[in-house]
Structure 1
Amino acid sequence: MKRFVLLDTTPIPDNGGALCLFEYGEDFVIKIQGGDGGQLMNTRMHGSEDALAEIPCRKVAGRPNSRVLIGGLGMGFTLASALKHLGKSAEVVVAELVPGVVQWNHGPLGEKAGMPVLDPRTTIVQEDVAKVLQNEPQGFDAIMLDVDNGPEGLTQKANSWLYSSGGLAACGRALRPKGILAVWSASADRQFNDRLRKAGFKAEEVQVYAHGNKGTRHTIWICEKLKG
């Protein structure tokens, strides 16, 4: 019988909380320490994380020296998908606030995604993605956000700015002309659709299965920057 085996715990900077990495049979699971026992992510169900990168990266792959940003390394599946669908001259910048998550992706956890952190096109920045956005005007052809559980599924209040009008405006400024913003969410959210439109994006809401073609579905917003 499979059981959860705690492998490591790592603090979340400036938060007071911590993330826990568990082994569960042949899979790995990340949970928040002291939470309700729910999983933030696991290595068995990552279909929507793959799609988060595949859809926008296919759109920008033909651009010369394409450069994209991923907010949140997680278990590395979004990074792996981005690398798969981009050319040899591309750069994938990953902003990950928790150093322990980066370390886990250099170990057995990272092997599940094919060790994308070791790809020469990968640049890991141990920083809040909000700061990266603000420091790189027109720095990216695409931005993929997989931070917390999405706009309305937040477990950390500090993440709320990213999905606010101000955060979306910062995404717009960080994108190059006709850039693509992709946002992952555990559920749909009509109010977020309105914020995207007001921030100058043409948004399409896509439903993607977490695993295979049945069961839980997640939401991905694919948003095209209309001006600038």
Structure 2
Amino acid sequence: MTAAFPDTPEVLDRREGPYGEVVLRRHGPLLQIIANGCFLMDTSDGRSERLLVDAALGALDDRPAPEVLIGGLGVGFSLAHAAANPRWGRITVVEREPAVVDWHRTGPLAQVTAAALADPRTRIVETDLVAYAHETSATFDALCLDIDNGPGWTVTEENGALYAPAGLADCARVLRPGGVLAVWSAQPSPEFEGSLGNAGFQQVRTEEIPVARGVPDVVHLAVRPG
């Protein structure tokens, strides 16, 4: 018989970050990240994070060593999966919470990302993704966003700017011609598909990720025109 998880998760670390409180918990075998009391993600599965990265790569042409920008380190599944694929070139991850970076570098989440962080292709940038996309001069072949529960369900109010016309224009700006934008969401959003089209993206589509119950998770995909 499989042992049941304890009723109360164990708090491993709690910090006041630049955007509020962030907490790392252990619940049985799972590690969980909580931000301002809102459950963000845990280490239970990772299918959606892997699909996010694979869908972006699959939508690219056969250019050699494409470079990817991953928005949000989270529990590290997206980074680990990208680093496990030798086809990717440079892998840049933007994470605004110093605590999350610490949990991966020297804490419990190193079990997920130790090999990826040691990969010479990997670079971690500690900053806000909205600001980074607006200010950076760097460009990428793919942009994978997993910083919210979806375009209509953001972790902080400020993140909403990323899915507005100006934010999508910044996403297009950091992509090279033919580059792919992939956005994870906890639910489908026809409105966001329309926003992507209005922002000038082409080949807009949505891939579903089956879940045990309820509506499927999805990855929104769009291509910057060549």
Name the TM-score, length of structure 2 as normaliser.
Answer: 0.89
* Offset, 1:12: 3.0
Structure 2: unaligned runs, 5 residues or longer: none
Partner secondary structure for residue 44 of structure 1? coil
Q: Summarize the Cα distance change of 1:166–1:117 in structure 2 as closer, same or farther, 3 Å threshold.
A: same
Q: Percent of aligned positions with the same letter in both sequences?
A: 35
* Offset, 1:60: 4.0
Counterpart for residue 22 of structure 2: 19
Partner secondary structure for residue 161 of structure 1? helix
2:14 is matched by which residue type in structure 1? T
* Offset, 1:188: 1.2
Distance 2:131 2:39 in 1: 27
Distance 1:215 1:118 in 2: 37
1:126 is matched by which residue type in structure 2? E
Partner secondary structure for residue 170 of structure 1? helix
Cα displacement string for residues 86-120 of structure 1 (whole angstroms, at most 9, x for unaligned residues): 427x1000000001100111222131355422221
Counting only pairs closer than 5 Å after superposition, residues 15-54 of structure 1 correspond to structure 2 as 15=19, 17-33=20-36, 35=37, 39-54=39-54
Counterpart for residue 95 of structure 1: 94
Distance 1:45 1:39 in 2: 15
Distance 2:86 2:159 in 1: 28
Structure 1 residue 191 corresponds to structure 2 residue 191: yes
Structure 1 residue 125 corresponds to structure 2 residue 128: no
1:195 is matched by which residue type in structure 2? S
* Offset, 1:61: 7.9
Task: Check conservation: 1:137, 1:175, Cα contact below 8 A.
Answer: no
Counterpart for residue 177 of structure 2: 177
Task: Check conservation: 1:138, 1:176, Cα contact below 8 A.
Answer: no
Distance 2:61 2:115 in 1: 21
* Offset, 1:189: 1.3
* Offset, 1:222: 1.1
Distance 1:156 1:177 in 2: 30
* Offset, 1:11: 2.6
Counterpart for residue 207 of structure 1: 208
* Offset, 1:167: 0.5
Counterpart for residue 225 of structure 1: 224
Task: Check conservation: 1:48, 1:209, Cα contact below 8 A.
Answer: no
Counterpart for residue 150 of structure 2: 150
Counterpart for residue 11 of structure 2: 6
Structure 1 residue 63 corresponds to structure 2 residue 56: no
Distance 2:22 2:119 in 1: 25
Cα displacement string for residues 28-85 of structure 1 (whole angstroms, at most 9, x for unaligned residues): 011124x2xx521000132101111111124448423421100100011011112223
* Offset, 1:170: 0.7
Q: Summarize the Cα distance change of 1:28–1:61 in structure 2 as closer, same or farther, 3 Å threshold.
A: farther
Tell me the C-alpha RMSD between the 2 structures: 1.9
Task: Check conservation: 2:60, 2:178, Cα contact below 8 A.
Answer: no
1:29 is matched by which residue type in structure 2? Q
Distance 2:61 2:81 in 1: 12
Distance 2:182 2:86 in 1: 16
Counterpart for residue 139 of structure 2: 139
